[in-house]
A and B are shown apart, each in its own frame.
Chain A
Amino acid sequence: MSDQQSGQNGQYGHGVALSIEGCGKTFADGTRALEPVTLHVARGETLVLLGPSGCGKTTLLRIIAGLESPDPGGRLLFNEADVTRVPIERRNVGMVFQSYALFPNMDVSGNIGYGLKIRGVSESDRKARIAELVALTGIEGLEHRRVDQLSGGQRQRVALARAVAARPSVLLLDEPLTALDAALRDRLRGELNRLLRALGITAIYVTHDQAEAMALGDRVVVMRKGAIAQIGTPRDIYFAPANRFVAEFVGAANIVEAQCDAGALTLLGGKLPIANSAVNGHINGKVFAMIRPESIRVIAPDGAALSGEVDSVSFVGDRQRASIGGVAGKLIMVDVPNSIAIKAGDRVGLAVDPASIRLLPGDAS
């Protein structure tokens, strides 16, 4: 299991801003939402919690926020101080909710300045800070609008400005882009990234969208059924998934059963050499191999070590995605550049870079 633990201690920034030690959560009705989790987040790091719904990522976020308390035995430390018993009002966290939770009875300035008001900041200082944040999030001119007069993207920015106004020690974001349409989401993702870097703030970001996770995270925590499946940098997760779940959840993956011996995989449609580095320990016999669609090249079928027949082709825009049969037990997805003419029924050969093949633990999970 050492793969999973690598990257657990952030090497980023200066020191550990947030430590979660053995925090699990069982709800009153008996549901086990989170298995005990241990994580350390470095100052200034953006840590993404990624996973399907029900995996416990939001529960973990709420425990960090102080909206839920961990099961007995769990500890939470902000800058080495134990905050497990401290209620959310006094934790000095900034939180952006999925629905933004903007106060309809206050205008934009009122919302942004609310945390400052609570802390007793003087009106002039408040005004200055609000102006600063309005400029930072690019919402000039909206200061006196009411919440229901704002678009989705504007609301998101106000929610962010409000959350960081009082300079929280950690920023928590609960699927902040999920409520927006796809085009807006893409655009705001980039802006959010720039903003988080500019602020240099420690941030925990929850999402089910793996593209978002990889674009925004310094490290990604992939979660499943209340437990951590893998922690690592986006590249680690993508190129070296620890298990089948992570492989399939992050990016498209072909996962095939094969026989492995003497450094080569034997599949239905031929043989594939694999690099030593891809082999976890000394493995012989039946294995699961992961190969990403973009790592497979289509070549002439004659003389190819691996070949099959095209089942269907779909045009994705910047490339084609072909399903090839007869190579392994099920259809293999292959990315084919638009320059290659390919259609259903063609016989094709496949070439795979041995270094891009990854062997996964035998369990089907």
Chain B
Amino acid sequence: MSKKTFIVLCFVPLAILVTAFFVLPMARLVIVGASGDKGVSAYAAILLDPRYRTTLINTVLLAAATTAATLVISTISGIFLQRHRFPGRAFLIAMLTFPLAFPGVVVGFMIILLAGRQGLIGQVTLALFHDKQVFAYSIQGLFLGYLYFSIPRVILTIMAAVEKLDPSLEEAARALGAGPWRVIRDVVLPALAPAFIASGAIAFATAMGAFGTAFTLATDIDVLPMLIYTEFTLSTNFAMAAALSVSLGLVTWAILALARSFGGNTVAAAG
């Protein structure tokens, strides 16, 4: 058997799996999306139909707010953890990255435990202020949930980027008289910009496509994945569900492609 034949053989299992169970189904999805009452214009419905548009805007705003907050939090903690050594540091880092593998559904449960009807925060505020705060099932709860699964991912990426920073640039700025805050503002943050874009884009894309968290928290607030779910299961409007999925898939893919051009191939999993 020649080398060329062997290489072709190596691709056969891959070809079977990917074609049968990814390419074909995705193609079918695109076709079904255009096969409903509205035809191909179903793809524009996401922007034209007010209900869908509101959902889209909600989802984008939520994803954007999550990304912004996650970046700020992760940068503060990430720089701090990478630049200081103290007893318990490794343990602290482990705690911050431990939720990395939680599915969205577990994250939802975590938020319920924190801010649900019998949640910890509710019990604390009840004891202190005689007013039980329950916000797991509102937009704040959803936001917290999204933060919960975004922070571990982003903080790891930021820490890796901080590690690669060239210390002589900061020393040069200090030699020129810049105090610590100026050094951060003028040298460190600009140097971290590619990492921000890369991890920010991944966080945004993950938040856009997150399903499990919203599902568990069963909020009134509709996010796009939940909308797709209800269209498919409750309204059995397969075409609309398909069209929305394809749109969501395109947007997410585009954002991740942007992320890759700025920072390499980090993983975006679960949600």
Contacts and interface: CB of A to CB of B under 8 A. Distances in A.
A and B in direct contact, judged by CB atoms within 8 A: yes
Interface residues on B, range: 10 to 19
B23 interface: no
B187 A103 contact: yes
Contact of A65 (B166, B175, B190, B191): B175
B173 A114 contact: yes
Contact of B169 (A67, A87, A101, A118): A101
B177 A166 contact: yes
Contacts of B69: none
A99 B171 CA distance: 12
11 contacts: A67-B175, A88-B171, A89-B174, A89-B177, A97-B171, A99-B166, A99-B168, A103-B169, A103-B187, A118-B176, A118-B177
Contacts of A92: 177
Contacts of B175: 65, 67, 88-89, 93-95, 163
Given A114-B186, A118-B182, A101 B177 contact: no
Given A105-B190, A118-B182, A97 B177 contact: no
B179 A89 contact: yes
A14 interface: no
A342 B244 CA distance: 89
A95 B169 CA distance: 11
A12 B171 CA distance: 30
Interface string A71-114: 00000000000000001111011110111011111000000001
A157 interface: no
Contact of B176 (A98, A104, A105, A115): A115
A282 interface: no
A97 B172 contact: yes
Given A67-B171, A118-B182, 9 more contacts: A65-B171, A88-B171, A93-B175, A94-B175, A97-B172, A101-B172, A104-B190, A114-B186, A162-B172
Nearest to A168: B175
Contacts of A105: 186-187, 190-191, 193
A187 interface: no
A144 interface: no
Contacts of B166: 99, 101
A178 B173 CA distance: 22
B168 A119 contact: no
Contacts of A118: 176-178, 182
A166 B176 contact: yes
A89 B186 contact: no
Q: How large is the interface on A (under 10, 10 to 19, 20 to 34, 35 or more residues)?
A: 20 to 34
A87 B177 CA distance: 9
Nearest to B167: A101
Contacts of A115: 176-177
Among A94, A118, A119, which residue has the most Cβ atoms of chain B within 10 A?
A118
Contacts of A166: 176-177
Q: Per DSSP, are chain B's interface residues mostly helix, strand or loop, or mixed?
A: helix
Given A101-B166, A103-B187, A105-B190, A95 B172 contact: yes
Contact of B178 (A67, A89, A98, A101): A89
Nearest to A114: B176
Interface in A126-171: 162-163, 166
B43 to A, nearest CB: 40
Counting chain A CB atoms within 10 Å of each CB, which of B172, B175, B182, B191 scores highest? B175
A329 B168 CA distance: 48
Nearest to A110: B186
Contacts of A94: 175
Chain A CB count within 10 A is highest, among B173, B179, B193, for B173
Contacts of A90: 177
Nearest to A28: B85
Contacts of A99: 166, 168
A90 B169 CA distance: 17
A84 B193 CA distance: 36
A52 to B, nearest CB: 22
A101 B174 contact: no
A104 B187 CA distance: 9
A163 B187 CA distance: 16
Given A114-B186, A118-B178, A103 B173 contact: yes
B193 to A, nearest CB: 8
Nearest to A106: B186
Nearest to B177: A118
Interface string A293-328: 000000000000000000000000000000000000
A65 B179 CA distance: 15
Contacts of B187: 103, 105
Interface in B139-181: 166, 168-169, 171-179
Nearest to B168: A101
B185 to A, nearest CB: 11
A118 B178 CA distance: 6
CB-CB nearest 7 A-B residue pairs? A115-B176, A105-B190, A101-B172, A101-B168, A95-B175, A118-B177, A97-B168
